[in-house]
Amino acid sequence: MQITNVDEQEIQEPHFLKDGGTMGQSPVRLWQWWLMVSVNIFFLIVGQTAAVLLGRFYYDQGGNSKWMATLVQTAAFPILFIPLFILSSQDSSTTTKTTVSTQLSVTTLTLLYVSLGVLLAGDNMMYSTGLLYLSASTYSLVCASQLAFNAVFAFYINSQKFTSLILNSVVILSLSSALIGVHSDSTEPAGVSRGKYILGFLCTLGASAIYSLLLSLMQLSFQKVLKRETFSVVLEMQIYTSFVATCACIVGLFASGEWRSLKGEMDGFGKGRVSYVMTLVWTAVAWQVSSVGVVGLIFVVSSLFSNVISTLALALGPIAAVIFFHDKMDGVMVVAMLMAFWGFASYLYQQYIDDSKLKAAQNHVNEVLIESTLERQIV
């Protein structure tokens, strides 16, 4: 077929994702890809920062239920049905129907969502324990180690390449977390013993590792199991895994007996009963906004990139904690935060190099396409 009436913009702008794929059965141009990436980055950074600060506020004002703090991390998932309904109608009109042979069985989907949901619930519980015994700034900096864990998991599970810059990022972030781990003077909340501080540090570190594993498994699920490239699938993944995690947390809340203390906790909350309820509600909403950004970046880019942006948000966390909670930022904390930014910058520069190489390859393809078109016109 001759390409004689191709629009110039169609030739110059790439129609595929960074990894050469397409979204929703239709090609995506570079500006659309960057728009999707930017929106998801915004959701992740704003949602995660707000959720961490509200979680620390809950504990500071008298909240003490780890199961409640875990529950709110996934309980707001029903609000995601609104964008899912909108996107599902758009997908049905712009994408082709999947054939019966490619449709997944209910058993496969159930097993996938239940497995990821239970893992998510356990991970959230460890995060809640860590935030209970650590200040918001220390918690955020320890969580930055998740990028190092994810780089390893992405290498073995998702075949993510390991360049010198990524290795540098992993090492720097690991050293940043280690620096926080050995420096606990004046960094833990009032009334927290040395033993509880260590427990909080280990729980946060372990949760970061499990979270990184979860991201890589989600990316693998998109590639090998779901095999459907629409954002509706991203929302479905978030909704169903959050539903399973929420059910697990409700069981834990009642099995542990913490539900009996909730009324007294509300009555004794430092800012009042209304503030108690609103803190939990907005924490739940913030976590869902963050989760959409996380899963969206896994879908559009990769699990490692999603974790890098999450690390950036965590590096910004100490600054927000100093502003809102007046956390202490001594020299060691400042160095650890700067190291976290350094680790993020290393990975970001690797992304810039990859972008440059991809752009050069695309320009070469476009030049070949134009030459071929001109030759056909001459003939």
Average pLDDT of the residues in 92-102: 44
pLDDT at 279: 94
Percent of the chain with pLDDT over 90: 21
Band of residue 183 on the pLDDT scale cut at 50, 70, 90: low
Greater pLDDT, 330 or 242:
242
What phi and psi, each to the nearest 5 degrees, are found at residue 3?
A: -110, 80
pLDDT at 295: 74
Q: Is the pLDDT of residue 345 over 70?
A: yes
Greater pLDDT, 356 or 258:
258
pLDDT at 246: 95
Percent of the chain with pLDDT over 70: 77
CA distance linking residue 133 with residue 324, whole number of Å: 18
221-235, 282-296, 305-319, 341-355: which has the minimum mean pLDDT?
305-319
pLDDT at 329: 67
Band of residue 182 on the pLDDT scale cut at 50, 70, 90: low
Band of residue 98 on the pLDDT scale cut at 50, 70, 90: very low
Q: Minimal CA–CA distance to 143: which of 188, 76, 210, 216? A: 210
CA distance linking residue 174 with residue 146, whole number of Å: 9
Within 8 A by CB and 6+ apart from 133, the residues are 188, 189, 192, 196, 197, 199, 200, 201, 203
SS3 23: strand
Within 8 A by CB and 6+ apart from 20, the residues are none
2-6, 79-83, 212-216: which has the minimum mean pLDDT?
2-6
The full DSSP string for 233-290 is HHHHHHHHHHHHHHHHHHHHHHHHTGGGGHHHHHHT-TT-HHHHHHHHHHHHHHHHHH
Greater pLDDT, 223 or 129:
129
Greater pLDDT, 81 or 363:
81
Give pLDDT tens digits for 37-89: 888 889 998 998 899 889 889 988 888 899 999 999 999 999 888 878 876 66
Q: 23 - beta bridge partners?
A: 26
Q: Is the pLDDT of residue 5 over 50?
A: no
Question: In whole numbers, what is the pLDDT of the chain averaged over residues?
Answer: 77
pLDDT at 70: 94
pLDDT at 190: 64
Q: Is the pLDDT of residue 247 over 90?
A: yes
Q: Is the pLDDT of residue 6 over 70?
A: no
Band of residue 188 on the pLDDT scale cut at 50, 70, 90: low
What phi and psi, each to the nearest 5 degrees, are found at residue 20?
A: 95, 0
pLDDT at 180: 66
Average pLDDT of the residues in 242-246: 95
Top-ranked range on mean pLDDT: pick from 126-130, 314-318, 338-342: 126-130
Q: Which tokens go with 324?
A: 């809102």
